[in-house]
Structure 1
Amino acid sequence: MKCTLTRLTWLSAALAALAGTAAALDFRVQLVTNQYLQDVQFLTSQSPATLRRIPTSVPGARENASVPKVMRTLARRDGSVVFSDVAPGAWLLDIQAPYLIFNQYRVDIPEPDAVSPPTTSAGEGLTWKGLPAVRVHLRGYSLESTLLSPALPYPLIAGPIGKQGFFTEPEKFNIKSLLANPMILMGGVGMLLIFVVPKLQSQLDPEAQAEMRASQASMQKKMAAFQSGDLGALFREDAPTRPSAGPSAVQAAGGSGSGKKR
């Protein structure tokens, strides 16, 4: 009795696997040349194509354990890519190639409509309700939003959309970018002040020049005290200094004194 149950279990598992493989078709992709690809033979054995099964979004639905989650194949010499026995459902197609970039595609394999039991090979005796629906999937967007885009003709014709950028070309010399550099601007302003400030100081009257020298001397004194560790020198006010009497002041004082004598 136990042996009979074991045989029945194995038989049911084999039938389930046979049913899963029978309801499958071959998905085909044709790689073509364009401005980025000159010869499709360059992709031979160097361009693995991958089909990844997209989990169903139906609540409570169970995945078929006999269906592989990932299917891989290589491009042929004529540029064709064939995935054999692809089960119905949603798949994500990814084509990889050295130095080339391909789009990602969402592939929806329809459910088969069985009209007679299969005989020798998987899918024989089955008529399909429709062709696989292939849509371009933009990276960074959800797979559900891809269903809003129109379906592409089948078999899918795919070509590279660009080249991988592994190197960054150095920027060419540009005088505008050089002058717009903040360090160059700061250096230019500093050089301008070195030549302009002395000329402005020479045009000031003697009293303003003396006051400017006194403020500079006071600042230098405070900085020297700060470097020596005297922090209070920064907040200590210097005693006001009386400006030295110039020749005009001396002459005025002498003239007033001589005027009083008689």
Structure 2
Amino acid sequence: MKSPLSLVIFAVAQLLTTALAASLRVQIPASNLIPNPYTLPSSTHATLTSGTEPPRRALLRRGDYFEFSNITTAGSYLLEVHSRDFVFAPYRIDLTPSADRSESVISGAWETYRGTKWEDRGVALVATPTKDLTLNVKTVSGKSFYEQRQGFNPMSLLKNPMILMAVVALAFTFGMPKLMENMDPEMRAEYEEMQKKSPMNSVTKAMQGGGVGGSADGFDLASYLAGSGRSTGSEKAPDNVRERKR
């Protein structure tokens, strides 16, 4: 059992440590995203992380704030607020000894940015070093875990390449006959002559297949693709070869 004297010494040491330590209060103010901070879930918490000691963790209190007390180790800290429904801005907190080195004070507080250098800081939030600081954190955005299904948009059909190709094909199908009817006779005859000489026209007729006049210029596409040396399907047998009677 501890003696009363040791308990008194321990209590005095705790009081001295508290008196020499800095304190940070993190407040969540009402905003457009959070009109009523009282609705935040109880799992909301804040962390104060440095590279020299384990992270400090503070739970959300009744007045919508987090309390970090007895901060004695000098250095730079990263303040983050973790919430299920919202994203809060991170902050950099610098703690240094006072001028007479009798206590620790908060010498600087800045909004920092994820993915950038630690030296990249925002606007200074502490004008002069202070032992107790109340900091209002900024709500950046809300968290959304579900993607909303988009409704039907007629304009999206016009952005579809297949729909555009179908529209162009229909325009040529119904527009070209009208254009040919209104075309000058000489120009129409010249256009038809160009179509006959076009190689694409020959390929199109060949792909249509058989019959008299079904292939273009005696070209047999099936025989050509089969590897046969004959380009037509209507070549006669040589005169010296007799055909077998049926």
TM over 0.5: yes
Q: Call closer, same or farther: CA 1:41–1:219 in 2, change over 3 Å.
A: same
Equivalences for 1:29-178 in 2 at 5 Å? 29-43=26-40, 45-53=42-50, 55=51, 63=52, 68-86=53-71, 87-112=73-98, 126-128=102-104, 130-146=105-121, 149-153=122-126, 154-178=133-157
Match of 2:22 among 17, 20, 25: 25
CA apart distance, 1:167: 3.0
Q: Call closer, same or farther: CA 1:102–1:204 in 2, change over 3 Å.
A: same
- With structure 1 as the length reference, what TM-score do the two structures score? 0.59
Residue 216 of structure 1 aligns with which residue?
204
Unmatched 5+ stretches in structure 1:
1-17, 56-62, 116-125, 239-262
CA apart distance, 1:77: 0.9
Secondary structure of 1:145's counterpart equals: coil
Deviations 1:67-91 (A, max 9, x none): x231111110101211122222101
Residue 191 of structure 1 aligns with which residue?
170
Output the CA distance in 1 between the equivalents of 2:207 and 2:144: 56
* Contact kept in structure 1, 2:43 and 2:84, CA below 8 Å: yes
Secondary structure of 2:38's counterpart equals: helix
Residue 240 of structure 2 aligns with which residue?
none
CA apart distance, 1:40: 2.4
Output the CA distance in 1 between the equivalents of 2:195 and 2:123: 81
Q: Work out the number of aligned pairs and report it.
A: 191
Deviations 1:50-106 (A, max 9, x none): 1111x4xxxxxxx5xxxx231111110101211122222101111011211100101
Q: Which is richer in helix? A: 1
Opposite residue 78 of structure 1, the aligned amino acid is: G
Unmatched 5+ stretches in structure 2:
1-13, 127-132, 182-187, 210-219, 233-246
Secondary structure of 2:46's counterpart equals: strand
* Contact kept in structure 1, 2:86 and 2:141, CA below 8 Å: yes
* Contact kept in structure 1, 2:89 and 2:140, CA below 8 Å: yes
Deviations 1:140-177 (A, max 9, x none): 2111122xx33114421124222113233344544444
Equivalences for 1:4-23 in 2 at 5 Å? none
Output the CA distance in 2 between the equivalents of 1:165 and 1:211: 63
Output the CA distance in 2 between the equivalents of 1:142 and 1:210: 70
CA apart distance, 1:36: 1.2
Q: Call closer, same or farther: CA 1:44–1:200 in 2, change over 3 Å.
A: closer
**Whose relative contact order is higher, 1 or 2, with alpha carbons under 8 Å and at least 6 apart?**
1
Residue 181 of structure 1 aligns with which residue?
160
Structure 1 vs Structure 2 CA RMSD = 3.6
Secondary structure of 1:139's counterpart equals: coil
Output the CA distance in 1 between the equivalents of 2:109 and 2:94: 7
- With structure 2 as the length reference, what TM-score do the two structures score? 0.62
Residue 226 of structure 2 aligns with which residue?
230
* Contact kept in structure 2, 1:44 and 1:77, CA below 8 Å: no
Output the CA distance in 2 between the equivalents of 1:29 and 1:207: 85
Output the CA distance in 1 between the equivalents of 2:193 and 2:103: 107
Opposite residue 86 of structure 2, the aligned amino acid is: L
